[in-house]
């Protein structure tokens, strides 16, 4: 089945996706969802670390421990941890049980790196736990 997309609509979609010059595009695909996928020409695609012969490390998705001052018990359970573990961990930053309410978000990634963001200040850690 062929769908029709007007040229002005296609050009607008390309601009939104970062391709203001149609000659930079190899293919466009109208997906089943109605979205338009853009496949740029090889010399116009974003630079990748592999293009420079660089190796990257695996990016581990962070787990959210605290949101708006509330401890995420479901996350702790999925990590096999409990509130005592979290209290101890936060204590290494001088964060007390009372000050947990001032945390907008606290995350920890699979490598053990923690990030704590207060409603008014930011604390980063490169320590692994």
Q: What is the mean pLDDT of each run of 10 residues along the chain (129 residues)?
A: 80 94 94 92 91 84 92 93 92 85 89 81 51
Residue 51 lies in a domain: no
Report the chain's C-alpha Rg in angstroms.
23
Spatial separation of the C-alpha atoms in residues 58 and 53, rounded to whole Å: 16
pLDDT of res. 129: 44
Looking at the domain assignment, is residue 81 inside a domain? Answer: yes
User: Same structural domain for residues 32 and 86?
Assistant: no
Domain of 34, CATH number, reads 3.30.240.20
Segments forming the whole domain that contains residue 39:
7-45
pLDDT score at 5: 85
* Domain assignment of residue 13, yes or no: yes
63 phi, psi to nearest 5 deg: -105, 135
Same domain, 67 and 37: no
CA-wise closest residue to 108 among 92, 121, 120: 92
Grouping H, G, I as helix, E, B as strand and the rest as coil, residue 116 is strand
Distance of CA 128 to the CA centre of its chain: 20
Prediction pTM value = 0.54
């Amino acid at each position: 089945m062929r769908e029709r997309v007007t040229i002005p609509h296609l050009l607008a979609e390309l601009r939104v996706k970062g391709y203001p010059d149609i000659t930079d595009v190899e293919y466009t695909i109208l997906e089943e969802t109605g979205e338009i996928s853009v496949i740029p020409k090889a010399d116009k695609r974003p630079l990748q670390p592999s293009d420079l012969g660089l190796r990257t490390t695996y990016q581990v998705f962070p787990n959210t421990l605290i949101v708006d001052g509330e401890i995420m018990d479901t996350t702790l359970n999925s990590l096999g941890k409990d509130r005592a573990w979290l209290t101890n961990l936060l204590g290494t930053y001088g964060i007390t049980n009372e000050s947990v309410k001032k945390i907008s978000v606290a995350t920890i990634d699979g490598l053990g790196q923690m990030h704590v963001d207060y409603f008014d200040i930011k604390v980063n850690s490169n320590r692994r736990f």
